[in-house]
Chain A
Amino acid sequence: EAGVTQSPTHLIKTRGQQATLRCSPISGHTSVYWYQQALGLGLQFLLWYDEGEERNRGNFPPRFSGRQFPNYSSELNVNALELEDSALYLCASSLSGDPSGNTIYFGEGSWLTVV
């Protein structure tokens, strides 16, 4: 069974451009999470989608947005890219239900470099 898949693996963009990152959750998982991990830093929570709706977002500006599609895959969009947006973006998925009992699995991440 396929795990969480993310694309692209690497992306290089120029400051001011837009970046789109994609994530496919594990089959049967309806919750998708996005995290940002800047170089040498911990994971910062970005967004959580469940059943097609945004349930929670972290402390990031509105130029970070996303959506979840009917097949539960998800897209993260970063507009007006800034140099400090350069980071590893990790997507994770889990089942809905009792969150303390459902393990969250991560994809391999998308490396975004803004030049």
Chain B
Amino acid sequence: QFRLQESGPGLVKLSETLSLTCTVSGGSMNDMYWSWLRQPPGKGLEWLGYIHYSGATNYNSSLKSRITISVDTSKSQFSLHLTSLTAADTAVYFCARGGWSLASWGQGILVTVSS
């Protein structure tokens, strides 16, 4: 059974870059898609993007100029980089297995953007 764990800073400054890593255990990353999503406090889920183990990506067009997702299968990790942060980027960030229906999720990490 896959397990996913997000890691990274819980507090980042306005206009800076957020970097989060998701570590996957319990199975191989091969032949699968891996996603990042977020949920602002008290709000619904927002899909940010996904990456195939081969490195092919697909991003939410509302973030396209600010987001990069990368994968390192040798470390069983994939990462999210989000630039030019604003207060609107404050949210719980989740990583998940899958590109469409999302069968396994990390527990989430709260990221607060503040000056």
**Co-assembled chains A and B:** no
